[in-house]
């Protein structure tokens, strides 16, 4: 077994020598790859560069001069005029004492029934504080100076005063209907 080991080792040494010999530079194979790379880089650098796109033409913008000397001030009330404060339309009574139902929004009040008959009908309204209030014509309710004009078996009718945006007030009809439970 000793000779076969020597033969195997010799064959391996010869194979290794051939492989290492092939990695070396060959004189007959021509120019080196590094030389080809250097030539290619030199050729690319020798070519003229493509022309650049021309610069865009700058547009001249029209200038605008803001002259507001004769115009209305944009921060003042647009609807104020001398005749808007004349008091010709309906206005809330600022000296009137506020009633209990005026602290609640109208849509938070619920009609739950009525008491009486005919013209003596009194409406029953539950407010968000869970208290039942008696309502008859002339009573104020809601946050828009709503004055009750009529109490019917199925609804309470009232007239609210809302700002018209021009410094005056408008009367707007509203109602609170009986809940169907």
Residues facing residue 171 across a β-bridge: 161
Is pLDDT at 142 greater than 60 in this prediction? yes
pLDDT of res. 82: 45
pTM: 0.51
Least confident of 34-38, 134-138, 139-143: 34-38
pLDDT value, residue 27? 52
Question: Per-residue pLDDT tens for 4-35?
Answer: 888 888 888 888 888 777 766 555 555 566 78
Q: How far apart are CA 113 and CA 126, in angstroms?
A: 10
Mean pLDDT estimate for the chain: 83
User: Strand, helix or coil at 1?
Assistant: coil
Is residue 174 classed as helix, strand or coil in its secondary structure?
strand
Reported as a single tens digit per residue, the pLDDT across 69-128 is: 777 777 776 555 544 445 567 888 888 899 999 999 999 999 999 998 877 899 999 999
The Cα–Cα gap between 84 and 151 comes to 34
Name the DSSP letter for residue 178.
Answer: B
CA dist., res. 180 & res. 122, Å (int): 18
């Amino acid at each position: 077994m000793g000779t076969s080991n020597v033969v195997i080792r010799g064959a391996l040494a010869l194979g290794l020598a051939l492989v290492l010999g092939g990695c070396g530079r060959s004189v007959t194979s021509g120019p080196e790859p590094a030389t080809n790379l250097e030539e290619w880089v030199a050729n690319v650098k020798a070519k003229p560069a493509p022309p650049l796109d021309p610069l865009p033409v700058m547009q001249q913008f029209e200038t605008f001069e803001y002259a507001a000397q004769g115009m209305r001030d944009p921060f003042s009330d647009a609807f104020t005029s001398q005749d808007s404060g004349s008091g010709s339309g309906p206005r809330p009574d600022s000296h009137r004492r506020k009633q209990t139902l005026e602290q609640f929004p109208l849509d938070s009040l619920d009609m739950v029934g009525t008491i009486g008959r005919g013209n003596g009908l009194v409406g029953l309204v539950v407010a968000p504080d869970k208290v039942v209030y008696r309502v008859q014509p002339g009573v104020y309710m809601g946050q828009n100076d709503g004055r009750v004009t009529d109490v019917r078996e199925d609804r309470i009718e009232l007239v609210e005063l809302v700002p018209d945006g021009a410094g005056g007030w408008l009367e707007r009809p509203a109602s609170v209907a009986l809940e169907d439970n």
